[in-house]
C-alpha cells in the first residue's frame, strides 16, 4: 500500500502544548514500522510544490486574500489565524506541500485502483474559502476532489468524513457541486457546531449524521449500514476520499465518543465494499497511541 509522507510535515510548528503537533505523525510512522505489514508499505515523498504547480489548485477554492494572509503570517515569523490555529514560519510552505501530497494520492489511487494513505499535516476539513480555523489551513480533501474531477474518466467523487468534528469547510466548498457527494459522521453538539441532519446540499449530495456524545461503535455500525453505505453506493463515486480523523476514539481528549482503534478497521471494510479506489487523508486524532493504532487498523484492512 502506498503511503505519502515527508519529514517536512513536521516543520509546521504549533507550540508545545498544542494537540495538533508533529508527534502525531512520528507516532503513526513508529506504529507502522512495528507492524506485521511494515514490509508491504511503499513510502513516497510528495511531489514538490514547484514541480506540481500546487498554488493554482489552492487558488481555485480559497480566496487570494486568505492565501496571502496565511503566507504573510508565516513570513513575519508566525502567529495565529484564531485562538486554535497556529502558523509558524514554515507553515505556509508545508500546507502547500500537504495539498500536493493529497493530489499525489489522487493520482496513485486512480492509476492503480487501490487505496493509498496521505500522512500529512496541517489538516484541512475546517478550512473555508476565506477562513482557516480548527487547526486547518487549506481544505485538502475539497481541493483533492476538484482535482480528481479534472482527471480522465472521473465524473463523480465522494468524500466520507469520519473525523469526530464536522467538516464545515469541506461541506461549504462542495455542497453546490452535483459531481461531489459529502457524508459526515460527527459528534453533535461539538465543535464547530455545524452539520445538522437537515442539511442536504444543493443537489441532495450531502448526508450529515450527528452522533450523540458517549456513543460507541454500535451506533456507527447502524449509521454505516442504514445511511452511509446506501448514500455512497447510490452516488457510485469514481473515487472515494476519506477525511480520516481519528478523534472519535475513547481516549481522545477533544471529544466524547467511545470508539476503539479496531473500529476504524470496520469502517474501512465498509468503504472497501463500495470501491477499491479510496484515498485516505489524515485529519484529526490527538491521543498519540489511539491515533497510531487506528491508522494501523485502517491500513491493515486495506492489505487484507
Could you list the active site residues?
126
Residue 33, classified by CB atoms within 10 Å of its CB into exposed (0-12), middle (13-18) or buried (19+), is exposed
257: nearest Cα among 282, 284, 226: 284
Residue 226 has phi, psi (to 5 degrees) of -95, -25
**Per-residue DSSP letter, 226:** I
| Structural contact between residues 197 and 208, judged by C-beta atoms closer than 8 angstroms | yes
288 sits in which H/E element: helix 288-303
**φ, ψ (nearest 5 deg) of residue 190:** -170, 165
The DSSP output letter for 257 is -
Between the alpha carbon of residue 191 and those of residues 81, 126, 134, 165, the distances in Å are 17, 10, 8, 6
Three cell numbers, residue 282: 489524515
Kindly state the cell numbers that stand for 285.
486524532
Distance from C-alpha of 27 to C-alpha of 7, rounded to nearest angstrom: 13
Sheet holding 116-118, edge to edge: 42-44, 2-4, 116-118, 278-282, 239-244, 157-161, 180-187, 206-211
Strand partners for 184: 161, 208
DSSP classification of residue 60: T
Amino acid at each position: 500500500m502506498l503511503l505519502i509522507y515527508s519529514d517536512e510535515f513536521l516543520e509546521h510548528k504549533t507550540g508545545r502544548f498544542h494537540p495538533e503537533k508533529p508527534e502525531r505523525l512520528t507516532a503513526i510512522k513508529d506504529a507502522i514500522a512495528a507492524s506485521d505489514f511494515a514490509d508491504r508499505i511503499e513510502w513516497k515523498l510528495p511531489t514538490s510544490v514547484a514541480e506540481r504547480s500546487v498554488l493554482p489548485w489552492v487558488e481555485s477554492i480559497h480566496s487570494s486574500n486568505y492565501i496571502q494572509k496565511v503566507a504573510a503570517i508565516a513570513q513575519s515569523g508566525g502567529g495565529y489565524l484564531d485562538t486554535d490555529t497556529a502558523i509558524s514560519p514554515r507553515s505556509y510552505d508545508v500546507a502547500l506541500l500537504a495539498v500536493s501530497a493529497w493530489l499525489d494520492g489522487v493520482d496513485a489511487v486512480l492509476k492503480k485502483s487501490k487505496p493509498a494513505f496521505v500522512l500529512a499535516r496541517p489538516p484541512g476539513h475546517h478550512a473555508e474559502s476565506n477562513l482557516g480555523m480548527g487547526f486547518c489551513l487549506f481544505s485538502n480533501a475539497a481541493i483533492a476532489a476538484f482535482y480528481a474531477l479534472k482527471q480522465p474518466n472521473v465524473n463523480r467523487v465522494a468524500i466520507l468524513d469520519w473525523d469526530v468534528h464536522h467538516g464545515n469547510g469541506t461541506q461549504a466548498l462542495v455542497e453546490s457541486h452535483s459531481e461531489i457527494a459529502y457524508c459526515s459522521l460527527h459528534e453533535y453538539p461539538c465543535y464547530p457546531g455545524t452539520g445538522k441532519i437537515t442539511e442536504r446540499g444543493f443537489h441532495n449530495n450531502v448526508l450529515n449524521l450527528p452522533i450523540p456524545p458517549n456513543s460507541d461503535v454500535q451506533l456507527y455500525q447502524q449509521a454505516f449500514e442504514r445511511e452511509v453505505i446506501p448514500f455512497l453506493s447510490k452516488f457510485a463515486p469514481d473515487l472515494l476520499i476519506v477525511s480520516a480523523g481519528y478523534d472519535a476514539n475513547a481516549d481522545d481528549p477533544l471529544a466524547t465518543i467511545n470508539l476503539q482503534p479496531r473500529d476504524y478497521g470496520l469502517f474501512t471494510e465498509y468503504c472497501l465494499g463500495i470501491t477499491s479506489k479510496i484515498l485516505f487523508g489524515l485529519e484529526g486524532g490527538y491521543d498519540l497511541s489511539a491515533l497510531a493504532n487506528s491508522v494501523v487498523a485502517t491500513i491493515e484492512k486495506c492489505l487484507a
